[in-house]
Amino acid sequence: MVDNIEKRLATLRSASTIEARAHEVHLELWNNRYDLFVDKVPSHPLESVEPAVALSMKGFRVVTDPCLGEMWNEGRRVRVAGVVDQDARLVKISPNLDGQERRFTTGHELGHVVEHPGMTLHRDRALSGHMPRKDNMEREADLFSSCFLMPARHVLNEFYARFGMHVFRMNEDTAFGFLLGNYQGCRKKIKLQRDASILSATASHFMGRHFLPLNQFFGVSPVAMAIRLEEVGLVEPDSAKWVR
Ligand SMILES: [Zn+2]
């Protein structure tokens, strides 16, 4: 099991520079934990995965600002969720976000700071819905936030601890494990890769055991968790193709 996870981590980090850079920020946070976390020093690496602390480590101030206004985004007028001003070394986050959106947006702004250091004033909407953003830099900042908030090592470990699988497969046994009802009914409900990812991202029980759903464990929305499970290869395009 350990070898399998180490091999997958090495593959992920060599395939994606963003994955590797998010990991570098994790190490930096952990190595500097005594200086960065004054109130409570983390006793586990996951406790140091705080995007606002990482931004302050990079010399940025993070403030809540109720006056961020609106912006045009992909043809729609939407509320601004976050702003990064790299010249002023300032990140502003809207107070109108739930905890999961706030965490992801702060991670997204951290992504711009790490991946796009020349970028000056930039405004963002919150990530919602199932569609990836169209703009390249936006997709990179989302991927950074995803890699940062849900470190691959911990996602692989926590997934295996809950489901005992290294790749999710929909079949009669897994349908039974999730108490999804009869086989035909389940096949209608779980048809696409994303259906299988959302199911495993939000499940609170499997094969009679109860646990904290993965999305709650990592403090992210069901969609953000589902996308991460796909990124690290735990839910593959054919995971929802039922095998008997
Ligand atoms: Zn952005």
Q: Which tens digits make up the pLDDT trace of 108-125?
A: 999 999 999 988 888 888
| Confidence class for position 243, pLDDT limits 50, 70, 90 | confident
Query: What single DSSP character describes residue 179?
Result: T
Which residue carries 């912006």 as its tokens?
71
Q: By the 8 A CB rule, do 184 and 193 touch? A: no
Task: List the structure tokens of 239.
Answer: 């995971």
Q: Which segments of the chain belong to CATH 1.10.10?
A: 16-148
Q: Kindly tell me if the per-residue pLDDT of 128 is higher than 70.
A: no
**CA 114 to CA 146: how far, in whole Å?**
14
pTM, whole model, 2 decimals?
A: 0.91
Which residue carries 């101030």 as its tokens?
61
Averaged pLDDT for residues 154-168: 95
Q: Kindly tell me if the per-residue pLDDT of 130 is higher than 60.
A: no
Averaged pLDDT for residues 41-59: 96
Task: List the structure tokens of 160.
Answer: 């295996």
123 Cα: distance to centroid of ligand 1 (angstroms): 6
12 Cα: distance to centroid of ligand 1 (angstroms): 23
> Which residue type does 24 have?
E
66 Cα: distance to centroid of ligand 1 (angstroms): 18
**CA 63 to CA 56: how far, in whole Å?**
11
Run of H or E including 123: strand 121-124
Q: What is the pLDDT of residue 4?
A: 82
Q: Kindly tell me if the per-residue pLDDT of 181 is higher than 90.
A: no
Ion ligand 1 — residues with CB < 5 Å: 124, 138, 141
Q: Kindly tell me if the per-residue pLDDT of 132 is higher than 70.
A: no
Query: Which CATH number among 1.10.540, 1.10.10, 1.10.3210, 3.30.310 corresponds to the domain 16-148?
Result: 1.10.10
Q: By the 8 A CB rule, do 71 and 80 touch? A: yes
